[in-house]
Structure 1
Amino acid sequence: MTDLKEQRELIAEACRVIAGRGLADGILGHISLRIDENLLLVRCRGPRERGLGYTVPEDIRLVDLDGNEGAPGELAGWAPPNELPLHTEVLRRRPDVEAVLHAHPPEVVAADLAGIEIRPIVGAFDIPGTRLAAGGVPVHPRGVLIRTLAQAEEMVESMGDRPVVVLRGHGLTSAAVTVEQAVLQAVSVDGLARLSLQVKAAGGTLVDLPEADMAELPDLGSGFNTGTAWRHELARLGGVVDSGPC
Protein backbone atom coordinates (compact mmCIF):
# COMPACT_ATOMS: atom_id res chain seq x y z
CA MET A 1 0.00 0.00 0.00
CA THR A 2 2.80 2.48 0.81
CA ASP A 3 4.65 1.87 -2.46
CA LEU A 4 2.04 2.61 -5.14
CA LYS A 5 4.87 3.36 -7.56
CA GLU A 6 2.85 3.40 -10.77
CA GLN A 7 0.15 5.63 -9.32
CA ARG A 8 2.71 8.10 -7.97
CA GLU A 9 4.44 8.23 -11.34
CA LEU A 10 1.13 8.83 -13.14
CA ILE A 11 0.16 11.73 -10.89
CA ALA A 12 3.62 13.28 -11.20
CA GLU A 13 3.39 13.05 -14.99
CA ALA A 14 -0.07 14.59 -14.89
CA CYS A 15 1.22 17.53 -12.83
CA ARG A 16 3.93 18.13 -15.41
CA VAL A 17 1.35 17.91 -18.21
CA ILE A 18 -0.93 20.58 -16.73
CA ALA A 19 2.07 22.84 -16.13
CA GLY A 20 3.28 22.26 -19.69
CA ARG A 21 -0.17 23.16 -20.96
CA GLY A 22 -0.15 26.41 -19.01
CA LEU A 23 -2.98 25.33 -16.72
CA ALA A 24 -0.91 25.65 -13.54
CA ASP A 25 1.78 28.26 -13.12
CA GLY A 26 4.55 28.02 -10.56
CA ILE A 27 3.74 26.05 -7.42
CA LEU A 28 -0.05 26.34 -7.68
CA GLY A 29 -2.25 23.36 -8.51
CA HIS A 30 -2.55 19.71 -7.47
CA ILE A 31 -3.97 16.33 -8.49
CA SER A 32 -5.25 13.47 -6.34
CA LEU A 33 -6.22 9.84 -6.85
CA ARG A 34 -8.46 7.72 -4.61
CA ILE A 35 -6.70 4.58 -3.30
CA ASP A 36 -9.44 3.18 -1.09
CA GLU A 37 -12.45 4.42 0.90
CA ASN A 38 -10.24 6.48 3.23
CA LEU A 39 -6.91 7.05 1.45
CA LEU A 40 -5.75 9.13 -1.49
CA LEU A 41 -2.51 10.04 -3.17
CA VAL A 42 -2.07 13.78 -3.67
CA ARG A 43 0.64 16.11 -4.91
CA CYS A 44 2.27 17.68 -1.84
CA ARG A 45 4.95 20.35 -1.37
CA GLY A 46 8.29 18.99 -0.29
CA PRO A 47 11.59 20.34 1.00
CA ARG A 48 12.87 21.08 -2.53
CA GLU A 49 9.66 22.48 -4.01
CA ARG A 50 10.24 23.70 -7.59
CA GLY A 51 6.71 23.90 -8.96
CA LEU A 52 4.23 21.72 -10.81
CA GLY A 53 6.34 21.47 -13.94
CA TYR A 54 9.09 19.70 -11.98
CA THR A 55 6.95 17.27 -10.00
CA VAL A 56 8.54 13.89 -9.29
CA PRO A 57 6.91 10.73 -7.87
CA GLU A 58 8.45 11.46 -4.48
CA ASP A 59 6.17 14.54 -4.25
CA ILE A 60 3.06 12.35 -4.39
CA ARG A 61 2.15 11.36 -0.83
CA LEU A 62 -0.44 9.08 0.75
CA VAL A 63 -2.91 10.80 3.11
CA ASP A 64 -6.32 10.05 4.53
CA LEU A 65 -9.52 12.02 4.00
CA ASP A 66 -8.77 14.10 7.09
CA GLY A 67 -5.29 15.09 5.87
CA ASN A 68 -3.34 12.77 8.15
CA GLU A 69 -0.52 10.49 7.06
CA GLY A 70 -1.82 7.50 5.17
CA ALA A 71 1.18 5.49 6.33
CA PRO A 72 4.15 6.20 8.66
CA GLY A 73 6.58 8.70 7.16
CA GLU A 74 4.39 9.76 4.25
CA LEU A 75 4.35 13.40 5.36
CA ALA A 76 7.87 13.56 6.77
CA GLY A 77 9.13 16.70 5.01
CA TRP A 78 6.02 17.14 2.87
CA ALA A 79 2.86 19.17 3.43
CA PRO A 80 -0.52 18.47 1.81
CA PRO A 81 -1.96 21.33 -0.26
CA ASN A 82 -3.89 23.96 1.67
CA GLU A 83 -6.87 23.08 -0.49
CA LEU A 84 -6.87 19.38 0.36
CA PRO A 85 -10.58 19.65 1.38
CA LEU A 86 -11.32 20.45 -2.27
CA HIS A 87 -10.15 16.92 -3.12
CA THR A 88 -11.45 15.03 -0.13
CA GLU A 89 -14.97 16.46 -0.29
CA VAL A 90 -15.34 15.62 -3.98
CA LEU A 91 -14.17 12.08 -3.24
CA ARG A 92 -16.53 11.80 -0.26
CA ARG A 93 -19.56 13.09 -2.13
CA ARG A 94 -18.93 11.66 -5.60
CA PRO A 95 -18.58 7.83 -5.68
CA ASP A 96 -18.31 8.09 -9.48
CA VAL A 97 -15.03 10.00 -9.11
CA GLU A 98 -11.55 8.54 -8.55
CA ALA A 99 -9.31 11.46 -9.55
CA VAL A 100 -9.52 15.20 -8.82
CA LEU A 101 -7.54 18.01 -10.41
CA HIS A 102 -7.33 21.64 -9.36
CA ALA A 103 -5.57 24.18 -11.56
CA HIS A 104 -5.48 27.91 -12.38
CA PRO A 105 -5.81 28.30 -16.19
CA PRO A 106 -5.61 32.06 -16.93
CA GLU A 107 -7.90 31.88 -19.99
CA VAL A 108 -10.58 30.06 -18.01
CA VAL A 109 -10.44 32.71 -15.29
CA ALA A 110 -10.44 35.56 -17.83
CA ALA A 111 -13.38 34.15 -19.80
CA ASP A 112 -15.47 33.71 -16.67
CA LEU A 113 -14.68 37.21 -15.39
CA ALA A 114 -15.70 38.53 -18.82
CA GLY A 115 -19.06 36.82 -18.44
CA ILE A 116 -18.30 34.15 -21.05
CA GLU A 117 -19.70 30.69 -20.34
CA ILE A 118 -17.95 27.52 -21.47
CA ARG A 119 -20.24 26.44 -24.32
CA PRO A 120 -20.14 23.86 -27.16
CA ILE A 121 -19.07 26.37 -29.79
CA VAL A 122 -16.94 23.91 -31.80
CA GLY A 123 -17.62 20.56 -33.41
CA ALA A 124 -15.08 18.03 -34.61
CA PHE A 125 -12.32 20.42 -33.50
CA ASP A 126 -12.64 18.86 -30.01
CA ILE A 127 -15.39 16.24 -29.77
CA PRO A 128 -14.91 15.28 -26.07
CA GLY A 129 -14.71 18.96 -25.11
CA THR A 130 -17.83 19.78 -27.09
CA ARG A 131 -19.78 16.98 -25.42
CA LEU A 132 -18.56 18.11 -21.99
CA ALA A 133 -19.58 21.73 -22.64
CA ALA A 134 -22.96 20.68 -24.03
CA GLY A 135 -23.76 19.18 -20.64
CA GLY A 136 -22.94 22.48 -18.98
CA VAL A 137 -19.93 23.77 -17.03
CA PRO A 138 -21.16 25.31 -13.77
CA VAL A 139 -19.47 28.22 -12.02
CA HIS A 140 -18.74 28.39 -8.30
CA PRO A 141 -19.22 32.07 -7.43
CA ARG A 142 -16.62 32.36 -4.66
CA GLY A 143 -12.98 33.23 -5.37
CA VAL A 144 -11.57 31.89 -2.11
CA LEU A 145 -9.05 29.18 -1.32
CA ILE A 146 -11.00 25.98 -0.63
CA ARG A 147 -9.32 25.34 2.74
CA THR A 148 -12.23 24.23 4.93
CA LEU A 149 -14.86 21.53 4.79
CA ALA A 150 -17.60 24.16 4.59
CA GLN A 151 -15.94 25.88 1.62
CA ALA A 152 -15.43 22.51 -0.10
CA GLU A 153 -19.08 21.58 0.47
CA GLU A 154 -20.11 24.84 -1.21
CA MET A 155 -17.91 24.08 -4.22
CA VAL A 156 -19.27 20.54 -4.55
CA GLU A 157 -22.81 21.91 -4.41
CA SER A 158 -21.96 24.25 -7.28
CA MET A 159 -20.35 21.39 -9.19
CA GLY A 160 -23.31 19.05 -8.85
CA ASP A 161 -22.86 15.91 -10.94
CA ARG A 162 -20.77 17.64 -13.60
CA PRO A 163 -17.15 16.69 -14.38
CA VAL A 164 -15.79 20.26 -14.24
CA VAL A 165 -16.61 23.38 -12.26
CA VAL A 166 -15.12 26.83 -12.88
CA LEU A 167 -14.10 28.70 -9.72
CA ARG A 168 -14.66 32.43 -10.12
CA GLY A 169 -11.45 34.45 -9.99
CA HIS A 170 -9.57 31.27 -9.10
CA GLY A 171 -9.41 28.40 -11.61
CA LEU A 172 -11.21 25.11 -12.07
CA THR A 173 -11.75 21.68 -10.55
CA SER A 174 -11.96 18.62 -12.79
CA ALA A 175 -13.14 15.21 -11.57
CA ALA A 176 -13.07 11.89 -13.42
CA VAL A 177 -12.64 8.14 -13.18
CA THR A 178 -8.96 8.41 -14.12
CA VAL A 179 -6.17 10.92 -13.69
CA GLU A 180 -5.77 11.08 -17.46
CA GLN A 181 -9.43 11.96 -17.98
CA ALA A 182 -9.35 14.65 -15.30
CA VAL A 183 -6.40 16.31 -17.04
CA LEU A 184 -7.83 16.03 -20.55
CA GLN A 185 -11.13 17.54 -19.40
CA ALA A 186 -9.25 20.53 -18.02
CA VAL A 187 -7.30 20.86 -21.29
CA SER A 188 -10.57 20.91 -23.26
CA VAL A 189 -12.20 23.52 -21.04
CA ASP A 190 -9.08 25.67 -21.28
CA GLY A 191 -9.13 25.38 -25.08
CA LEU A 192 -12.79 26.37 -25.29
CA ALA A 193 -12.18 29.35 -23.00
CA ARG A 194 -9.25 30.49 -25.16
CA LEU A 195 -11.25 30.19 -28.39
CA SER A 196 -14.18 32.04 -26.83
CA LEU A 197 -11.95 34.94 -25.81
CA GLN A 198 -10.44 35.07 -29.31
CA VAL A 199 -13.86 35.05 -30.99
CA LYS A 200 -15.14 37.85 -28.76
CA ALA A 201 -11.95 39.86 -29.21
CA ALA A 202 -12.38 39.58 -33.00
CA GLY A 203 -15.91 40.99 -32.71
CA GLY A 204 -17.62 37.66 -33.27
CA THR A 205 -20.59 36.07 -31.58
CA LEU A 206 -20.44 32.77 -29.75
CA VAL A 207 -22.94 30.29 -31.20
CA ASP A 208 -23.53 26.76 -29.93
CA LEU A 209 -23.04 23.88 -32.34
CA PRO A 210 -26.40 23.03 -33.98
CA GLU A 211 -28.17 20.00 -32.54
CA ALA A 212 -28.05 18.24 -35.92
CA ASP A 213 -24.26 18.54 -36.00
CA MET A 214 -23.97 17.51 -32.36
CA ALA A 215 -25.95 14.36 -33.11
CA GLU A 216 -23.50 13.41 -35.86
CA LEU A 217 -20.34 13.76 -33.78
CA PRO A 218 -18.94 10.22 -33.47
CA ASP A 219 -17.80 8.61 -30.26
CA LEU A 220 -14.20 7.72 -31.10
CA GLY A 221 -13.86 5.63 -27.95
CA SER A 222 -11.67 5.83 -24.87
CA GLY A 223 -8.75 4.25 -26.71
CA PHE A 224 -8.53 7.35 -28.89
CA ASN A 225 -10.04 10.05 -26.67
CA THR A 226 -8.01 9.08 -23.61
CA GLY A 227 -5.29 6.59 -24.55
CA THR A 228 -3.96 8.26 -27.70
CA ALA A 229 -4.57 11.76 -26.34
CA TRP A 230 -2.62 10.94 -23.18
CA ARG A 231 0.35 9.55 -25.11
CA HIS A 232 0.35 12.82 -27.04
CA GLU A 233 0.44 14.83 -23.81
CA LEU A 234 3.42 12.81 -22.58
CA ALA A 235 5.17 13.20 -25.93
CA ARG A 236 4.73 16.99 -25.66
CA LEU A 237 6.78 16.78 -22.47
CA GLY A 238 9.52 14.90 -24.25
CA GLY A 239 9.17 11.93 -21.91
CA VAL A 240 9.26 8.22 -22.61
CA VAL A 241 5.91 7.08 -23.97
CA ASP A 242 4.74 3.51 -23.46
CA SER A 243 3.11 2.07 -26.57
CA GLY A 244 0.60 0.14 -24.49
CA PRO A 245 -2.91 1.30 -23.54
CA CYS A 246 -3.50 3.81 -20.76
Structure 2
Amino acid sequence: MRTPETRDDLVAQLAEVGRMAVSRGLALASGGNLSARLPGAAEFVVTGAGTWLDRLTPDDFTVMDLGGAVTGGASRPSSEWKLHQRTYRVRPDVNAVVHLHPQHAVLVDALGHRIRLITLDHAYYVRSVGTVPYHPNGSDDLADGAAEQAREHDCIVLSHHGCSTLGADIGMAYRRALNLEEAATATYRCLAVGNTACTFPPEAFAELHHA
Protein backbone atom coordinates (compact mmCIF):
# COMPACT_ATOMS: atom_id res chain seq x y z
CA MET A 1 0.00 0.00 0.00
CA ARG A 2 1.31 3.42 -0.94
CA THR A 3 1.75 6.16 1.65
CA PRO A 4 -1.59 7.93 2.11
CA GLU A 5 -1.57 11.70 1.73
CA THR A 6 -5.21 12.56 2.35
CA ARG A 7 -8.21 11.41 4.33
CA ASP A 8 -9.64 9.90 1.14
CA ASP A 9 -6.47 7.82 0.72
CA LEU A 10 -6.73 6.52 4.28
CA VAL A 11 -10.39 5.66 3.94
CA ALA A 12 -9.78 3.82 0.66
CA GLN A 13 -7.01 1.73 2.23
CA LEU A 14 -9.08 0.92 5.31
CA ALA A 15 -12.01 -0.11 3.12
CA GLU A 16 -9.71 -2.41 1.16
CA VAL A 17 -8.44 -3.98 4.38
CA GLY A 18 -12.03 -4.46 5.53
CA ARG A 19 -12.91 -6.34 2.37
CA MET A 20 -9.82 -8.53 2.58
CA ALA A 21 -10.32 -9.28 6.26
CA VAL A 22 -13.89 -10.47 5.76
CA SER A 23 -12.96 -12.52 2.67
CA ARG A 24 -10.31 -14.32 4.74
CA GLY A 25 -12.69 -15.02 7.61
CA LEU A 26 -10.96 -12.69 10.07
CA ALA A 27 -14.22 -10.87 10.77
CA LEU A 28 -17.93 -11.38 10.16
CA ALA A 29 -20.40 -8.67 9.17
CA SER A 30 -19.89 -5.71 11.51
CA GLY A 31 -17.50 -7.54 13.83
CA GLY A 32 -14.26 -5.59 14.16
CA ASN A 33 -13.23 -2.01 13.43
CA LEU A 34 -10.40 -0.16 11.73
CA SER A 35 -8.67 3.18 12.19
CA ALA A 36 -5.77 5.32 10.99
CA ARG A 37 -4.24 8.64 11.96
CA LEU A 38 -4.87 11.53 9.61
CA PRO A 39 -1.63 12.75 8.00
CA GLY A 40 -0.33 15.89 9.68
CA ALA A 41 -3.15 16.12 12.22
CA ALA A 42 -3.80 15.07 15.82
CA GLU A 43 -6.89 13.17 14.66
CA PHE A 44 -7.79 9.74 13.39
CA VAL A 45 -10.52 8.13 11.31
CA VAL A 46 -12.35 5.10 12.68
CA THR A 47 -15.13 2.97 11.25
CA GLY A 48 -18.59 4.03 12.33
CA ALA A 49 -21.00 2.13 14.57
CA GLY A 50 -22.56 -0.94 12.97
CA THR A 51 -20.64 -0.72 9.69
CA TRP A 52 -19.93 -3.95 7.80
CA LEU A 53 -16.22 -4.23 7.10
CA ASP A 54 -16.65 -5.54 3.58
CA ARG A 55 -19.07 -2.76 2.58
CA LEU A 56 -17.28 0.36 3.82
CA THR A 57 -17.82 3.66 2.00
CA PRO A 58 -16.38 7.11 2.77
CA ASP A 59 -19.58 7.91 4.70
CA ASP A 60 -18.90 5.04 7.12
CA PHE A 61 -15.99 6.72 8.91
CA THR A 62 -15.90 9.07 11.89
CA VAL A 63 -13.12 11.60 12.49
CA MET A 64 -12.04 11.95 16.12
CA ASP A 65 -9.34 13.76 18.07
CA LEU A 66 -7.11 12.11 20.65
CA GLY A 67 -9.29 13.49 23.42
CA GLY A 68 -12.20 11.40 22.17
CA ALA A 69 -14.28 14.15 20.56
CA VAL A 70 -16.01 13.61 17.22
CA THR A 71 -14.77 16.26 14.79
CA GLY A 72 -16.27 15.08 11.50
CA GLY A 73 -17.69 12.29 9.39
CA ALA A 74 -20.24 9.81 10.68
CA SER A 75 -21.76 11.02 13.95
CA ARG A 76 -21.52 7.65 15.74
CA PRO A 77 -18.09 6.01 15.86
CA SER A 78 -17.58 2.33 16.52
CA SER A 79 -18.31 1.29 20.10
CA GLU A 80 -14.62 0.34 20.24
CA TRP A 81 -13.32 3.84 19.48
CA LYS A 82 -11.60 4.01 22.87
CA LEU A 83 -9.52 0.96 21.97
CA HIS A 84 -8.05 2.93 19.07
CA GLN A 85 -7.83 6.32 20.77
CA ARG A 86 -5.96 5.08 23.82
CA THR A 87 -3.53 3.03 21.77
CA TYR A 88 -2.64 6.12 19.73
CA ARG A 89 -2.10 8.11 22.90
CA VAL A 90 0.53 5.70 24.25
CA ARG A 91 2.12 4.83 20.89
CA PRO A 92 2.94 7.93 18.83
CA ASP A 93 4.77 5.69 16.34
CA VAL A 94 1.56 3.80 15.50
CA ASN A 95 -0.52 5.20 12.63
CA ALA A 96 -3.03 2.39 12.17
CA VAL A 97 -4.96 -0.03 14.39
CA VAL A 98 -6.74 -3.10 13.03
CA HIS A 99 -9.23 -4.79 15.37
CA LEU A 100 -10.60 -8.09 14.07
CA HIS A 101 -12.13 -11.32 15.41
CA PRO A 102 -9.79 -14.08 14.17
CA GLN A 103 -11.07 -17.47 15.26
CA HIS A 104 -7.85 -19.36 15.93
CA ALA A 105 -6.18 -16.54 17.85
CA VAL A 106 -9.19 -16.31 20.14
CA LEU A 107 -9.51 -20.10 20.45
CA VAL A 108 -5.87 -20.80 21.33
CA ASP A 109 -5.97 -18.08 23.98
CA ALA A 110 -9.28 -19.42 25.37
CA LEU A 111 -7.72 -22.89 25.64
CA GLY A 112 -5.04 -21.38 27.87
CA HIS A 113 -2.14 -21.63 25.44
CA ARG A 114 0.21 -19.00 24.15
CA ILE A 115 0.34 -18.41 20.41
CA ARG A 116 3.64 -19.76 19.13
CA LEU A 117 5.73 -18.03 16.51
CA ILE A 118 6.86 -20.79 14.19
CA THR A 119 7.86 -19.32 10.83
CA LEU A 120 10.21 -16.51 9.88
CA ASP A 121 7.26 -14.26 9.05
CA HIS A 122 5.66 -14.91 12.43
CA ALA A 123 8.91 -14.04 14.19
CA TYR A 124 9.48 -10.92 12.12
CA TYR A 125 6.01 -9.39 11.89
CA VAL A 126 4.32 -10.56 15.08
CA ARG A 127 7.44 -10.65 17.24
CA SER A 128 5.50 -10.88 20.52
CA VAL A 129 1.89 -11.24 21.60
CA GLY A 130 0.25 -9.38 24.46
CA THR A 131 -3.02 -10.49 26.04
CA VAL A 132 -5.85 -8.67 27.77
CA PRO A 133 -8.35 -10.50 30.02
CA TYR A 134 -11.97 -10.42 28.94
CA HIS A 135 -13.73 -7.08 29.41
CA PRO A 136 -16.99 -5.93 27.78
CA ASN A 137 -16.57 -4.43 24.32
CA GLY A 138 -16.33 -0.66 24.31
CA SER A 139 -15.37 -0.53 27.97
CA ASP A 140 -12.67 1.62 29.55
CA ASP A 141 -11.11 -1.51 31.05
CA LEU A 142 -10.70 -3.10 27.62
CA ALA A 143 -9.31 0.06 26.02
CA ASP A 144 -6.91 0.75 28.89
CA GLY A 145 -5.77 -2.88 29.02
CA ALA A 146 -5.06 -2.91 25.30
CA ALA A 147 -3.18 0.38 25.51
CA GLU A 148 -1.04 -0.95 28.34
CA GLN A 149 -0.15 -4.05 26.31
CA ALA A 150 0.54 -1.83 23.28
CA ARG A 151 3.48 -0.29 25.15
CA GLU A 152 5.38 -3.54 24.55
CA HIS A 153 3.52 -5.43 21.81
CA ASP A 154 2.25 -4.77 18.29
CA CYS A 155 -0.11 -7.76 18.40
CA ILE A 156 -2.60 -8.10 21.24
CA VAL A 157 -5.19 -10.80 21.87
CA LEU A 158 -8.36 -9.61 23.60
CA SER A 159 -9.54 -12.73 25.41
CA HIS A 160 -12.83 -14.26 24.20
CA HIS A 161 -13.14 -11.35 21.78
CA GLY A 162 -10.56 -10.68 19.09
CA CYS A 163 -7.23 -9.04 18.41
CA SER A 164 -5.72 -5.61 18.01
CA THR A 165 -2.73 -5.20 15.70
CA LEU A 166 -0.71 -2.04 15.24
CA GLY A 167 1.50 -0.60 12.55
CA ALA A 168 3.29 2.45 11.28
CA ASP A 169 0.87 2.23 8.36
CA ILE A 170 -2.35 0.41 7.47
CA GLY A 171 -0.58 -2.27 5.46
CA MET A 172 1.70 -3.22 8.34
CA ALA A 173 -1.13 -3.35 10.87
CA TYR A 174 -3.08 -5.70 8.60
CA ARG A 175 0.00 -7.79 7.77
CA ARG A 176 0.46 -8.34 11.49
CA ALA A 177 -3.17 -9.43 11.86
CA LEU A 178 -2.68 -11.98 9.07
CA ASN A 179 0.49 -13.37 10.59
CA LEU A 180 -0.96 -13.46 14.09
CA GLU A 181 -3.87 -15.60 12.89
CA GLU A 182 -1.57 -17.83 10.82
CA ALA A 183 0.63 -18.34 13.88
CA ALA A 184 -2.44 -19.17 15.97
CA THR A 185 -3.64 -21.66 13.34
CA ALA A 186 -0.23 -23.33 13.26
CA THR A 187 -0.21 -23.43 17.07
CA TYR A 188 -3.63 -25.10 17.12
CA ARG A 189 -2.44 -27.73 14.65
CA CYS A 190 0.62 -28.43 16.76
CA LEU A 191 -1.57 -28.88 19.83
CA ALA A 192 -3.89 -31.18 17.87
CA VAL A 193 -1.04 -33.62 17.18
CA GLY A 194 0.32 -33.34 20.71
CA ASN A 195 3.31 -31.14 19.94
CA THR A 196 4.07 -28.73 22.77
CA ALA A 197 7.52 -27.56 21.75
CA CYS A 198 7.50 -26.42 18.11
CA THR A 199 8.60 -22.79 17.82
CA PHE A 200 10.92 -20.51 15.86
CA PRO A 201 14.53 -21.11 17.00
CA PRO A 202 15.28 -18.70 19.90
CA GLU A 203 18.81 -17.99 18.67
CA ALA A 204 17.50 -17.10 15.21
CA PHE A 205 14.82 -14.90 16.78
CA ALA A 206 17.45 -13.01 18.76
CA GLU A 207 19.60 -12.54 15.67
CA LEU A 208 16.58 -11.38 13.63
CA HIS A 209 15.70 -8.60 16.05
CA HIS A 210 19.16 -7.51 17.07
CA ALA A 211 20.90 -7.49 13.69
TM-score by length of 2: 0.85
Separation in 2, partners of 1:37, 1:18: 27
State the alpha-carbon separation in 1 of the partners of residues 124 and 153 from structure 2. 12
Residue number among 133, 136, 140 corresponding to 1:141 in the alignment: 133
1:206: how far off? 3.4
Gaps of 5+ in 1: 219-246
Match of 1:194 in 2: 185
CA distance in 2 between counterparts of 1:53 and 1:120 reads 29
Q: Judge conservation of contact 1:21–1:187 (CA < 8 Å) in 2.
A: no
Q: 1:94 to 1:68 in 2, by over 3 A?
A: same
Q: Please say if residues 120 and 131 of structure 1, whose CA atoms lie closer than 8 Å, have aligned partners that are also in contact.
A: no
1:95 corresponding residue in structure 2: 92
Question: Hey, what does 1:130 align to over in structure 2?
Answer: 123
Give the structure 1 partner of residue 66 of structure 2: 65
Structure 2: runs of 5 or more not aligned: 1-5
Q: Secondary structure in 1 aligned to 2:129?
A: coil
Is 1:38 the counterpart of 2:29 in the alignment? no
1:155 equivalenced with 2:155 (yes/no): no
Are 2:90 and 2:151, in contact at CA under 8 Å, matched by a contact in 1? no
Q: 1:215 to 1:167 in 2, by over 3 A?
A: closer
Change (3 A) 1:206 1:121: farther
| 2:8 counterpart of 1:15 | no
CA contact (8 A) 1:84 1:147 kept: no
Structure 2 contact 125–175 (Cα < 8 Å) conserved: no
Are the aligned partners of 1:64 and 1:70 in contact in 2 as well (CA < 8 Å)? yes
Letter in 1 for 2:66: L
Q: Is the 8 A contact 1:140 1:159 kept in 2?
A: no
CA distance in 1, matches of 2:187, 2:80: 29
The runs of 4+ residues in structure 1 deviating greater than 4 Å are 212-218
Tell me the CA shift for residue 66 of structure 1: 4.0
Asked whether the 8 Å contact 2:135–2:142 carries over to 1, the reply is no
Deviations along 1:141-200, one digit per CA (max 9) or x if unpaired, are 22421333x542222113322111111111111111001110110000000101111121
Query: 2:36 is paired with a residue of what secondary structure?
Result: strand
Q: Secondary structure at the match of 2:156?
A: strand
- Matched positions, count: 203
TM-score (norm 1): 0.74
Counterparts of 1:216 and 1:160, CA distance in 2: 22
Q: Is the aligned partner of 1:85 residue 2:89?
A: no
Change (3 A) 1:120 1:9: same
Q: Which amino acid aligns with 1:38?
A: A
Q: Is 2:110–2:160's contact at 8 Å kept on the other side of the alignment?
A: yes
Alignment RMSD: 2.3
Deviations along 1:6-60, whole A, 9 cap, x unmatched? 11111111111111121111111111111145311111147xx5x2122223322
Superposition deviation, residue 68 in structure 1: 3.3
Structure of larger gyration radius: 1
1:214 deviates by 4.2
Q: 2-side partners of 1:15 and 1:128: how far apart? A: 22
- Partners of 1:147 and 1:84 lie apart in 2 by 10
